[in-house]
Amino acid sequence: ERLTRMLTTTTALLRVAVLAATARAFRTPLAAAPTIAPRRTTVVVAGIFDGVKDAFSQDVSILEDDRVTPFDRWLGIDVRSDDSKSERYSVPDDFVDSMDAANYVVARLPKPMGIVFEENDPATGGVFVASLADGGAAATDGVVQTGDQLVAVGPTLCKGSDFDACLAAIQASEADKTKLVFFRGGPSSLYGNLGASDEWMAEFMDKQRAHP
C-alpha cells in the first residue's frame, strides 16, 4: 500500500513536470527592452581672448575721416588712403585753369549789347552769358559766347557780384564801347578751391586797367 502511494505521487509529479515543460515551449517570448543610448552633452570651453578675436575678426568699415585723429591734424599728418586723397583732390574733366590769362577774352561793345545774363549759384555768385540776341552787338562782334563768366566791366571787378551789381556796372559805363572781360570756363573753375587766387586776380585786373 505504501509502495502504491509512492508510485501515485511520482506519477503526479511527472505529469506536473511535463505540463510545465509544455507551457514553457508555447510561451510567447517578451520583446527585448529597447536600448537607450547614453546622452552626450557638449560643453563649449571659451578662452579668455576668444571675445577679443571675434571683435577684431569682424568686417567693420572704417570711414576715411575716422583715420585722422586730432593729433594727426595738429602735426599735419595725413593718414588717409591714397584713393581717398585722389578722390578729394581730383580735378573735374571740364576744368579750365582760371589762373591762365589765355582763358580770358575781352569784348568792347556798344549799348545795347544784346547779352542776356543769368546768375550763378548763390553759393558762388557772379553772372554768366545765358544767351545772345540775334543780330545784337555781341552776336555781331563774335567774341562773347554762351556760358562765358563775366569777370570785369571796365576797371570794375564783377567776379562774384550779384546780378544787380553787374548790371549797375554796365549801366554806369559812359564809354562808346564798354570793355567786358569774360572767363571762358565754368563756375567751378573760376570759384571755390579751383578758382584763381585773390593775388592772381588782383594782378590780372591791374593789367586790364592799364589797357582800358
b/e code 142-156 from CB counts within 10 Å (16+ = b) = eebeeebbbbbbbeb
Residues 26-66: pLDDT tens digits? 554 544 555 555 555 555 555 555 555 555 555 544 455 55
Which amino acid is it at 37?
A
Q: Which residues have C-beta within 8 Å of that of residue 138, sequence separation ≥ 6? A: 107, 109, 113, 114, 115, 129, 132, 144
Of 162, 164, 151, 166, nearest to 205 by C-alpha is: 151
Answer whether the bond into residue 112 is a cis peptide, omega within 30°. Answer: yes
pLDDT of residue 68: 61
| Mean pLDDT across 109-121 | 97
Q: Give the residue carrying C-alpha cell 562774384.
A: 160
In the chain, % of residues over pLDDT 90:
55
Please tell me the predicted confidence (pLDDT) of residue 5.
65
Q: What mean pLDDT is predicted for residues 148-168?
A: 97
Q: Answer whether 141's CB lies under 8 Å from 178's CB.
A: no
d(CA 108, CA 113): 10
Residue located via cell numbers 552787338: 137
Mean pLDDT of all residues belonging to the chain: 80
Cβ 119 vs Cβ 138: under 8 Å: no
For residue 92, is pLDDT > 90? no
Q: Is the pLDDT of residue 72 over 80?
A: no
pTM of this structure: 0.60
More confident residue, 39 or 123: 123
pLDDT at 188 over 70: yes
